[in-house]
Amino acid sequence: MADAEEQLFSVQKYRWLYNDEQQRAVRYVPFNVDAFIDVAVRSVGATQCSSFKKVQDGKNSFTWRCRILVGTLNRVFSLSFDNNAELIAKIPFAVAGPQHYLTASEVATLDFLRTELHMPVPHVRAWCSRAESTPVGVEYIMYDRIPGVQLYRHDQTDLLVEDDPYIDILHELLPFELKLAKLRFAQIGSLYYKEDVPEELRDRPLYASDIPSTPNSQRFCIGPTTDREFWRAGRARLDIDRGPWYDEHSYLYALAACARASLDVQPIPARDEYRRLITDYETLVPHMSPRTSAYVLWHPDLHAGNILVTEATNPCKLEGIIDWQGALVAPSFTHMVCPPAYTAQEHPLVDCSNDGCPELTAEAQALDGEQRKVVELACRHAWREKIHAILLQEISPVLAQTLHGILRAKGALAMPVAAITRGASEGLEFIRHSFLQTRTMWYAFEGTDENGVPRKPFPLGITDADARHIEEEWERHTRDTSMCNELLERLGSHLDSEGLVYADKYDEAKRAVEEARQSALDAAPNAEEREYIVKAWPLQDGKISLTAEVCC
């Protein structure tokens, strides 16, 4: 029994190629199994639990400040009962977000979406956001299991585009995107039940002044943000402003204050340079918010794994939208993007120049076998993005322009917002490059005169020579971080997974990594290059693991 419980408490399926002990330690979560099952049984009105199993250690991708990370944020269980009820239960790891607030906000957000916007999201049956108050001993959420399969199960090209399940469900999905985009809130932060936030926040307005409240909406309010940036890597102990904020400038300046305060709790080289970059960011703040920005709730990562649909096709139907953990109410320009399920990556053998309609190039037409399938799938992804844009244009030209049109260029506005608190983890190169991207797209923010010159000069003194240096620096930084990409792909992993591999492949993968490192050292032309490889090699203990940074 003890061994069985240990398997429930720890990561069994995965290992990490670097910082493995640290990663597994932060995901070891013991709890009272009997009390957990008892809560579940009572929540569905059953007599006993007939099946209880760990279905995953929570491997999932999540968008974190414009970067897709693959990590394990939760332990997930499946439970069945003698009255045919089925639950999915989740226990968050300390890396997922702040204690109490993360769980309380997710539960309130799901309730709000289900009752206020009538969206097909999980129905919460039981939950606790304060581990010390429950005999279970941990925070948890238990939801009704939504039937169906994850949309990515239909990620194929065997059907015509017009019969593609991704296209089938758009007439159901797009109205929900529009509902979220049109609902404007009064503050920036995260959504909660009123009783779960400090009393002084409870009577503040929920919606923007021109949107009437409803009896149901009066149960909710905006409270402190659950954004990991304000909590990770020792920041939970800092006395900083975590919202809610009435205006975007206060929010953007709070990120700068968070970055500045983190200098005292994180080992950061070049502190003086980081402080200078924070000051430069503060200079940009008054220019970074579009005049039309609204505070909206948006799904944090609507990839195809978070969209549940019917297994049957022709037609395929939407069953549910899951994984709202960490959803924020924030300025639209900082997080409102086309769902990743409908965002295609450019492929050299897919031509979209014919009025934006994707087609295979002549070179692709000559391929066969697996190579042809890969290109055809890339073309199908491009078609899905195109049709998402076309159908959205029919119901909301403004939202279509925001997610797909020239306003996508304004994503560069959000780059400094995403970068400023990540100097220790991503390098100061990332911050400097974000400033350069904003400079490049300055015309989209301030407009241009008849000669194409921006009406206002860029507020940071980045010369053309500075820009070339920043680009060269960024290329070196990218080369360093991508040093092992080809190796990781062979191992079924990639850099953004921070070395995550299946446990049964761990020893083999570790040997492959060491062989690759040694080969790189042997091929180095001189001692200086060897020293560079030893220092820059990304898959070694001691390198920063973002997915191991706890938020408590």
Q: Please give the pLDDT value at position 408.
A: 61
Across 47-61, 62-76, 195-209, least confident range:
62-76
Domain 31-145 fold is Phosphorylase Kinase; domain 1 (3.30.200)
Q: Please give the pLDDT value at position 65.
A: 47
Q: Please give the pLDDT value at position 120.
A: 98
Give long-range contacts, CB 8 A cutoff, 24+ apart: 251-256. 251/188, 251/330, 251/331, 252/285, 252/288, 252/289, 252/417, 253/282, 253/285, 254/230, 255/229, 255/417, 255/420, 255/421, 256/281, 256/282, 256/285, 256/420
CA atoms within 13 A on the CB side of 166: 31
Express each pLDDT in 251-270 by its tens digit: 999 999 999 999 988 778 78
The mean per-residue pLDDT over the stretch 446-458 comes to 80
Quick one: what percent of the chain has pLDDT higher than 90?
72
Q: Compare 1 and 86 and report the one with higher pLDDT.
A: 86
64 pLDDT tier (thresholds 50, 70, 90) = very low
Express each pLDDT in 161-217 by its tens digit: 999 999 999 999 999 999 999 999 999 999 999 999 999 999 999 999 999 999 999
Q: 86 in helix, strand or coil?
A: strand
Q: 535 in helix, strand or coil?
A: helix
Q: Please give the pLDDT value at position 58.
A: 54
Q: Please check the confidence at residue 446 and state whether its pLDDT lies above 80.
A: no
Pairing of strands 350-351, 359-360: antiparallel
Break the chain into its structural domains and give their ranges: 31-145, 468-551
Region for residue 80 given its phi and psi (left: phi exceeds 0; alpha: psi -120 to 50; beta: otherwise): beta
Q: Label each residue of 504-530 as H, E or C.
A: HHHHHHHHHHHHHHHHHHHHCCCHHHH
Q: Cα Rg for the chain, rounded, in angstroms?
A: 24
Cα separation, 319 vs 236, in Å, equals: 37
Q: Please check the confidence at residue 146 and state whether its pLDDT lies above 90.
A: yes
| CB contact at 8 A, 113 and 322 | no
Express each pLDDT in 330-374 by its tens digit: 999 899 999 999 999 889 999 988 777 899 998 988 888 889 999
Q: Please give the pLDDT value at position 66.
A: 43
The mean per-residue pLDDT over the stretch 9-25 comes to 94
Q: Please give the pLDDT value at position 482.
A: 77
Q: Is the peptide bond before 244 cis (omega within 30 degrees of 0)?
A: yes
Q: Please give the pLDDT value at position 453.
A: 78
Q: Please check the confidence at residue 68 and state whether its pLDDT lies above 90.
A: no
Q: Please give the pLDDT value at position 59.
A: 56
The mean per-residue pLDDT over the stretch 105-132 comes to 98
Express each pLDDT in 382-394 by its tens digit: 999 999 999 999 9
85 pLDDT tier (thresholds 50, 70, 90) = very high
Q: What is the pTM of this model?
A: 0.94
The mean per-residue pLDDT over the stretch 514-539 comes to 91
Where does 454-524 have alpha helices with state H?
464-481, 485-490, 506-523
Q: Please check the confidence at residue 69 and state whether its pLDDT lies above 80.
A: no
Q: Please check the confidence at residue 495 and state whether its pLDDT lies above 70.
A: no
Q: Give residue 165's Cα distance to chain centre.
A: 24
Q: Please give the pLDDT value at position 409.
A: 65
DSSP string, 150-183: EGGGG--SSS-GGG-HHHHTHHHHHHHHHHHHH-
Quick one: what percent of the chain has pLDDT higher than 70?
95
Q: Compare 454 and 501 and report the one with higher pLDDT.
A: 501
Q: Please give the pLDDT value at position 67.
A: 46
The mean per-residue pLDDT over the stretch 143-159 comes to 95
User: Which two tokens mark 51?
Assistant: 């099946």
Q: Please check the confidence at residue 407 and state whether its pLDDT lies above 70.
A: no
Q: Please give the pLDDT value at position 376.
A: 93
> What letter represents residue 232's amino acid?
R
Q: Please give the pLDDT value at position 449.
A: 80
Q: Residue 14: name the closest of 65, 54, 68 by CA.
A: 54
The mean per-residue pLDDT over the stretch 405-420 comes to 77
Helix axes 271-284, 248-262, angle to 10 degrees: 180
Express each pLDDT in 529-543 by its tens digit: 999 889 888 899 998
34 pLDDT tier (thresholds 50, 70, 90) = very high
| CB contact at 8 A, 503 and 14 | yes
DSSP string, 301-366: ---GGGEEE-SS-SS--EEEE---TT-EEEEHHHH----GGG-PPP-TTEE-TTTT--EE-HHHHT
